[in-house]
Amino acid sequence: MNMNSFLEFVKNHKFTVLLVLIGLVLSILFFTIGFWRTILLFVILALCFLIGYLLDQSGPEGIKNFFTKLFTREK
């Protein structure tokens, strides 16, 4: 199997390959560091992603606006 046929396979089955890799990583994390530490890791990663995304979109003002909207009540 040469590199071109491998890349063609990945291109044709991208979601299958992606989900298998995600399952492999999750399995390794569950067995090595445990369920709750894995969940905590993904929560921390999600928060860091959110903050980075907000900084990329509108800078520090975007973070302030996001948390202001999150913690204020609409009547």
Q: What is the pLDDT of residues 32-69, one digit of tens each?
A: 999 999 999 999 999 999 999 989 988 889 889 888 99
**DSSP codes of every residue in 1-67:** --HHHHHHHHHHTHHHHHHHHHHHHHHHHHHHH-HHHHHHHHHHHHHHHHHHHHHHHHHHHHHHHHH
pLDDT at 3: 85
Tell me what the mean pLDDT of segment 24-32 comes to: 94
**Is pTM, for the whole model, over 0.95?**
no
Q: Is the pLDDT of residue 9 over 80?
A: yes
pLDDT at 1: 64
> Which of the four pLDDT bands, split at 50, 70 and 90, describes residue 12?
very high
